[in-house]
Amino acid sequence: MLEVTETALTNIKKYLSENNIESAVRITMISGGCSGNSLGLALDEAKENDLTSEQDGVNFLVEKGLAETCGTITVDFTESSGDGCGCSGGGFSIKSENSLAGDDQGGCGCSCTSGSCG
C-alpha cells in the first residue's frame, strides 16, 4: 500500500510541471550508506513486476517484491530539518511500515532530497 501526503503530492506535481516531465515516479530502495538501506524517489517507466498507483494525475511505481517487504510506504515532504533522516533542510521523506532488509537499525527507511524527484 502507498500513502502520499498532500504536501508531497503537491511538491511532486510542481517538480514534474516545472520541468515538463510526464514520467512516472518510482519508489526504490537505495542500498548501503552509513544509515543502512533507505527508500528514494526516481523517475522511471513501468516494468512488468511493478505495482502502480495513480494519485491526482501522478503515477507511482513500486516493484512488487519491495512493496511486500516494506508494507505500507508513506511519502511525505517536510519544509525544514528535524525529520530524523539527518538532513539539514527540507525534502521528501519516504518511510516503510516494515524494516528494510539490511537495515540494522530496525526502523523505517527514509531519504531526503533538496526538493527534487530525480
- Domain with 76, as residue range(s), is 2-96
Residue-level pLDDT at 21: 95
Residue-level pLDDT at 105: 41
Instruction: Say if residue 73's pLDDT is above 60.
Output: yes
Instruction: Say if residue 112's pLDDT is above 80.
Output: no
Q: How far apart are the first and last CA of the chain?
A: 22
Is there a domain that residue 37 lies in? yes
Residue-level pLDDT at 35: 65
Within 10 A of 13 (CB to CB), how many other CB atoms are there?
A: 15
Residue 10's φ and ψ, nearest 5 degrees, are: -60, -45
CATH number of the CATH domain containing 71: 2.60.300.12
For 13-54, the pLDDT digits (tens) are 999 999 999 999 999 998 876 667 889 999 999 999 999 999
Alpha-carbon torsion 24, 25, 30, 34, what sign? positive
Is there a domain that residue 107 lies in? no
pLDDT, the chain, mean: 81
User: What DSSP assignment string belongs to 17-86?
Assistant: HHTT---EEEEEEE--STT--EEEEEEE---TTEEEEEETTEEEEEEHHHHHHH-SEEEEEESSS-SSS-
Residue-level pLDDT at 94: 93
Is there a domain that residue 71 lies in? yes
Q: Which residues contact 110 (CB under 8 A, 6 or more apart)?
A: 38, 39, 83, 84, 85, 93, 94, 95
Task: Count structural domains, the chain.
Answer: 1
Is there a domain that residue 64 lies in? yes
Decide: 116 and 92 in contact? Cβ < 8 Å. Answer: no
pLDDT band with cut points at 50, 70 and 90 for residue 108:
very low
pTM: 0.76
pLDDT band with cut points at 50, 70 and 90 for residue 102:
low
